[in-house]
Amino acid sequence: MKILVLHGPNLNLLGTREPGVYGTVTLANINSAIAELAVQLGASIDFFQSNSEGALIDAIQGAVASHDGILMNPAAYTHTSIAIRDAIAAIGLPVVEVHLSNIHAREPFRHNSFIAPVAIGQIAGFGPDSYLLGLEALVRHIRGKAR
């Protein structure tokens, strides 16, 4: 099973970016934890981070031919990007949306996700664990084991 992990804008700055909100764990640390869990789950992972909406859309479109599902933190594009939502709807692969912070407990403009309606589900508020919980949920969904 192949999973594509997509990280949206500014997530390359994790570690130093607003540590009061996002903590001090780096994106490399998060990717290592994902890779470690993936071994246990028997999944293989590709990682991609971009600050560009178009590059993320290209990656989503490209995943159809190569991956079984996508674990994605769309970052600020969560709240703005109908184009990313449309790309996910177009490909039909299962997508799990994750966020480090609890977007629903933050500023009102973060409460809406354009992605959530086309995702299997959303996991938010658990810091880096959101990615690990999301990966497990995605793999279980793909294997048809979700309860």
Closest CA to 74 of 43, 33, 41, 118: 118
Assess contact for 135 and 37: CB atoms under 8 A. yes
Q: Three-class SS of residue 52?
A: coil
Q: How far is the CB of 73 from ligand DQA (least distance, A)?
A: 5
Closest CA to 47 of 91, 98, 4: 4
- Can 99 be counted among the known catalytic residues? yes
* Catalytic choice (7, 67, 77, 99): 99
Scanning 42-50, 57-65, 85-93, 98-106 for contacts with ligand DQA by CB under 6 A, the matching segment is 98-106
Contact set for ligand DQA, span 13-52 (CB under 6 A): none
Among 5, 59, 100, 135, binds ligand DQA (CB under 6 A): 100
Among 56, 63, 99, 115, binds ligand DQA (CB under 6 A): 99
Q: Does 75 bind ligand DQA (CB under 6 A)?
A: yes
Assess contact for 33 and 132: CB atoms under 8 A. yes
Scanning 53-61, 71-79, 87-95, 137-145 for contacts with ligand DQA by CB under 6 A, the matching segment is 71-79
Which residue ranges make up the site for ligand DQA (CB under 6 A)?
10, 73, 75-76, 78, 99-101, 103, 110
Active-site residue numbers?
A: 22, 99
